[in-house]
Amino acid sequence: MQRLRGLLGLGGGSSGGPDAVPHRKRSTDMEEAVSELAALVPNGAVSSARVRTPRTAPGARIGATTADAPAGGPVTLLTLSVTGMHCSACSSAVEAALRALPGVLTAEVALLSESATVRLDGAATSPEQAVEAIEACGFEARIVSSSREDGGGGGSSRGVETLRMDVRGMHCSACSSAVEAALQLVPGVHSAAVSLTVQQAEVRYAAVAGGKAFEQSLVDAAEGCGFEATVIGRAESCHQLLQVEGMTCSACSSGVEAALRAVPGVHEAAVSLLSGVAEVQYDPEVTGPRHLVDAVEDIGFGASPLSGQRLDFVDNNRRETAVWWRQFRAASLLTLPVFLIAMVFPHVSCMRGMYRWMLGGFPVDQIAKCLLTTPVQYGIGWRFHRGAYMALRSGRANMDVLVSMGTNASYIYSLISMLHHHIMRHHINGAYKPTDFFETAAMLITLVLFGKYLESAAKGKTSEAITKLCQLAPPTALLLELDPKTGTVQREREVPTELVHRGDVLKVLPGARIPTDGEVLDGTSYVDESMLTGESAPVHKAAGDAVIGGTVNMGGALRIRASRVGADTALSQIVRLVENAQLSKAPIQAFADRVSAVFVPIVAALALLTWLLWYLAGTLHWYPPTWLPQGHNTFLFALLFGIAVLVIACPCALGLATPTAVMVGTGVAAAHGILIKGGDALERACKVRTVVFDKTGTLTAGKPHVVDIRVLHEGLAVPDVLALAAAVEAHSEHPIASAILGLLGRQQQLAAATPKAAEAHGGPDSKGLANGYANASGGSGSDSFSANGSGGGRFMPRLLQVRDVEVTVGQGISGWVQLRGPEAAALAALESSSSGLSSVGSDGSEARAALLAIQAAAAAGISPCPAGERSSPASAGTSPAGLQRGDSRAALASLLTTAAGSVAAAGSAAGSAKMAAPAQEVRVIVGNARQMEAAGVAVPPAAEAYMRDQEGRGSTCVLVAVHQTLVGVIAVMDPIKPEARGVVAALHQMGMHCVLLTGDNWRTARAIGDQLGIRTINAEVLPAGKADKVQELQAASRHAVAMVGDGVNDSPALAQADLGIAVGSGTDVAIEAADYVLMRSDLEDLLMAMDLSRTTFNRIKWNYLWALGYNCLMIPVAAGVFYPVMRKQLPPWIAGACMAFSSVSVVCSSLLLRRYRRPKPVLRDMLIISH
CA distances to 517, 965, 1074 from 1046, rounded to whole Å, are 22, 35, 10
User: Over the stretch 344-356, which tens digit does the pLDDT of each residue have?
Assistant: 888 787 777 777 7
Q: Report the percentage of the chain scoring pLDDT > 70.
A: 74
Q: Which residues pair with 540 in a beta bridge?
A: 526
pLDDT surpassing 80 at residue 1015: yes
424: how many CB neighbours lie within 10 A of its CB? 12
Average pLDDT of span 1126-1150:
83
Residue 91: in which H helix or E strand, if any? helix 88-99
CATH number listed for the domain at residues 1-68+659-702+974-1171: 3.40.50.1000
- What is d(CA 879, CA 960) in angstroms, rounded to the nearest whole number? 18
Q: Which of 376-380, 816-820, 938-942 has the lowest mean pLDDT?
A: 816-820
| 906 band by pLDDT with thresholds 50, 70 and 90 | very low
Average pLDDT of span 618-636:
82
- What is d(CA 642, CA 663) in angstroms, rounded to the nearest whole number? 36
Q: Which residues pair with 565 in a beta bridge?
A: none
| 833 band by pLDDT with thresholds 50, 70 and 90 | very low
| 924 band by pLDDT with thresholds 50, 70 and 90 | very high
Report whether 158 contacts 66 (CB < 8 A).
Answer: no
| 859 band by pLDDT with thresholds 50, 70 and 90 | low
Report whether 926 contacts 725 (CB < 8 A).
Answer: yes
CATH 3.40.1110.10 residue ranges of the chain are 705-973
| 796 band by pLDDT with thresholds 50, 70 and 90 | low
Q: Which of 34-48, 577-591, 648-662, 956-970 has the lowest mean pLDDT?
A: 34-48
User: Over the stretch 16-66, which tens digit does the pLDDT of each residue have?
Assistant: 343 344 445 544 444 554 454 444 443 433 433 333 333 333 333 333 333
The distance of Cα 661 from the centroid of its chain, to the nearest Å, equals: 20
**Pairwise pLDDT comparison (162 vs 667), residue with the higher score:** 667
- What is d(CA 386, CA 265) in angstroms, rounded to the nearest whole number? 49
Helix spans in 560-694 (H): 570-580, 589-619, 634-648, 652-671, 679-686
Burial 792-802 (b: 16+ CB within 10 A, else e): ebebbbbbbbb
- pLDDT for res 1091: 92
Q: Which residues pair with 814 in a beta bridge?
A: 806, 925
**Pairwise pLDDT comparison (263 vs 311), residue with the higher score:** 263
- pLDDT for res 610: 92
| 970 band by pLDDT with thresholds 50, 70 and 90 | very high
User: Over the stretch 1031-1089, which tens digit does the pLDDT of each residue have?
Assistant: 899 988 888 999 998 766 677 888 888 998 888 754 555 567 778 888 887 888 899 99
Comparing CA positions, the residue from 1096, 1090, 1097, 1065 lying closest to residue 1078 is: 1065
CATH number listed for the domain at residues 475-568: 2.70.150.10
User: Over the stretch 641-680, which tens digit does the pLDDT of each residue have?
Assistant: 888 888 888 777 887 888 888 888 888 888 888 888 878 8
Which pTM was predicted? 0.67
Provide CB contacts within 8 A for 693, sequence distance 6+: 699, 994, 995, 996, 997, 1014, 1044, 1045
- pLDDT for res 818: 85
Comparing CA positions, the residue from 760, 765, 975 lying closest to residue 870 is: 765
Q: Among positive and negative, which fits the CA dihedral 395, 397, 398, 400?
A: positive
The listed range with the strongest mean pLDDT (6-20, 239-253, 1083-1097) is 1083-1097
User: Over the stretch 389-409, which tens digit does the pLDDT of each residue have?
Assistant: 888 887 777 778 888 888 888
- pLDDT for res 987: 92
**Pairwise pLDDT comparison (871 vs 329), residue with the higher score:** 329
Average pLDDT of span 248-266:
86
- pLDDT for res 197: 63
* CATH homologous superfamily, domain 705-973: Calcium-transporting ATPase, cytoplasmic domain N (3.40.1110.10)
Task: Please give, one letter per residue, the 3-state secondary structure of 454-506.
Answer: HHHHHHHHHCHHHHHHHCCCCCEEEEEEECCCCCCEEEEEEEEHHHCCCCCEE
- What is d(CA 512, CA 781) in angstroms, rounded to the nearest whole number? 34
Q: Give the torsion through C-alpha atoms of 587, 592, 598, 604, to 10 deg.
A: 180
Residue 165: in which H helix or E strand, if any? strand 160-168
Average pLDDT of span 511-526:
90
- What is d(CA 32, CA 27) in angstroms, rounded to the nearest whole number? 9
pLDDT surpassing 50 at residue 842: no
Q: Which of 844-853, 931-940, 941-950, 1028-1037 has the lowest mean pLDDT?
A: 844-853
- What is d(CA 218, CA 212) in angstroms, rounded to the nearest whole number? 10
Instruction: Considering the domain delimited by 238-312, tell me its CATH architecture.
Output: 2-Layer Sandwich (3.30)
- pLDDT for res 331: 93
Residue 809: in which H helix or E strand, if any? none
377-384: list long-range contacts, CB under 8 Å, 24+ apart.
377/407, 377/408, 377/411, 377/441, 377/442, 377/445, 380/327, 380/330, 380/331, 380/334, 380/445, 380/449, 381/331, 381/407, 381/445, 381/449, 384/445, 384/448
Return the axis-axis angle of helices 438-462 and 364-375, rounded to nearest 10°.
30
- What is d(CA 855, CA 1003) in angstroms, rounded to the nearest whole number? 32
pLDDT surpassing 90 at residue 925: yes
pLDDT surpassing 80 at residue 466: no
Provide CB contacts within 8 A for 378, sequence distance 6+: 385
- What is d(CA 411, CA 436) in angstroms, rounded to the nearest whole number? 8
pLDDT surpassing 90 at residue 1135: no
Mean pLDDT, the chain, rounded, equals 75
Average pLDDT of span 784-810:
62
Helix spans in 869-926 (H): 885-906, 909-916
| 286 band by pLDDT with thresholds 50, 70 and 90 | confident
User: Over the stretch 1089-1130, which tens digit does the pLDDT of each residue have?
Assistant: 999 999 999 999 898 888 888 888 888 998 999 888 888 888
The highest-level CATH class for domain 69-153 is alpha beta
Exposed, middle or buried, 250 (CB in 10 Å: 0-12/13-18/19+)? Answer: exposed
- pLDDT for res 993: 92
Report whether 936 contacts 964 (CB < 8 A).
Answer: yes
Q: Report the percentage of the chain scoring pLDDT > 90.
A: 10
pLDDT surpassing 70 at residue 863: no
Q: Which of 22-26, 288-292, 338-342, 919-923 has the lowest mean pLDDT?
A: 22-26
- What is d(CA 139, CA 398) in angstroms, rounded to the nearest whole number? 13
- pLDDT for res 63: 35
Phi, psi of 1160 (to 5 degrees): -60, 145
- What is d(CA 1087, CA 346) in angstroms, rounded to the nearest whole number? 63
CA distances to 133, 588, 592, 654 from 394, rounded to whole Å, are 11, 26, 20, 21
pLDDT surpassing 80 at residue 997: yes
Q: Among positive and negative, which fits the CA dihedral 372, 373, 375, 380?
A: positive
Q: What are the catalytic residues?
A: 694
Classified by CATH at the fold level, domain 160-234 comes out as Alpha-Beta Plaits (3.30.70)
Q: Which residues pair with 507 in a beta bridge?
A: 478, 559
- What is d(CA 23, CA 21) in angstroms, rounded to the nearest whole number? 6
Return the axis-axis angle of helices 589-619 and 652-671, rounded to nearest 10°.
150
Report whether 351 contacts 152 (CB < 8 A).
Answer: no
CATH 3.30.70.100 residue ranges of the chain are 69-153, 160-234, 238-312
User: Over the stretch 723-749, which tens digit does the pLDDT of each residue have?
Assistant: 899 999 988 877 888 889 888 888 888
